[in-house]
Amino acid sequence: MGRSAAFFDLDKTVIAKSSALAFGRPFYRDGLITRRDVVKSAYAQLMFRLGGTDEQTMARTRDYLAALCKGWQVEQVRQIVAETLHELINPYVYAEAAALIEEHQAAGRDVVLVSASGEEMVRPIGELLGVTDVIATRMAVEDGRYSGAVEFYAAGPSKVDAVGELAAVRDYDLADSYAYSDSYSDRPLLECVGHPTAVNPDRALRKLAVENSWPVLEFRHPIPLGRRLRERPAVPVAAAALGVGVGVAIGIAWYGRHRRTRATPTPAA
C-alpha cells in the first residue's frame, strides 16, 4: 500500500471567501480590469451559478477567464497577490481548516490544495498555510504575459486527472486518502478517494453526502494566523462535525456588485 494524502478545495472550504473574489479589488485598482469587465463578469458569474457544473458552463467560464487575462503581466499579478495576501486572505482562513490540515500533516500525510483559481493565487495561499503542493489553473505565458490560452483548468473531472497523476508520481493510495470540498462540482474529486468529506456544503453536495453517509463539517471561525498561533488550540475540528471552488471572473463580479452598493467609492491607491 502507498502513502495517503489529503486534498482540500480552497474557496469556502479552507478560506471563508473566494480567493478570486479577494483579489478582484486590487486588480481593478491597478487597472487590470475595467467597468466593462465588471458587467461582463457579472453575467458570467450568473451563468455559472444558474448553469451549475456542466461541461459547457465550465468551458465558457474557462474561455472567458483566458480572454480576460490576455496581455496581463505575470509579474504584476504576482506582485499584487504578494502585497495583499495578508490583508485579503489571512483573516479569512478557517481555524477548523487550519487545525485539520495540521492534523493530517502530523499524521504524515501530504496536504494538497486543489482549486480552480490561478496558480499565482493558490500557491502563495498554500505557503501561508504551510502547504507546498497545489493543483490550480495554469495560464499559458509568452514573453512574461498571459497569452490568452489556458494550459490547465482545474475544475470538475480535470481535478481528478491531476490528482491521479500526482498520486502515481507520489505513490499515494487514494483509497486511503482524504478529500474536502464545499461544492457539488467537486463530486469527482470526493468520489476518487476513500475518505470524502463535505465542508460547508451547497444543497446538492449536502444531499449527496447524506445519500452516501459522508461526513459533513461546518466551518464557522475564520481567524487570522497570528491569533491562531496565540490561542491554539483553535476551534476543535471534531466540534464542527455533524456526523454525516471560479477564476478571476467571479472576483470581478463580486467587486462590481459591492462597488455599486457602497455609498463612497474606494479611492485609488
* Encoded amino acid at 191, one letter: E
β-pair type (133-142, 145-152) = antiparallel
How far does Cα 202 stand from its chain's mean position?
A: 15
Cα within 13 Å of Cα(40), Cβ side: 14
CA distance 173 to 157: 19
* Residue 184 phi, psi dihedral angles, 5° rounding: -60, -25
Q: Which of 6, 61, 74 is nearest to 246 (CA)?
A: 61
Report the catalytic residues: 9, 11
8-state DSSP, 152: E
Grouping H, G, I as helix, E, B as strand and the rest as coil, residue 129 is coil
The answer to whether 20 and 247 are in contact (CB under 8 A) is yes
Q: Is the dihedral of CA 254, 9, 124, 159 positive or negative?
A: negative
Q: Quickly tell me which residue has 491531476 as its cell.
A: 162
* Encoded amino acid at 22, one letter: A
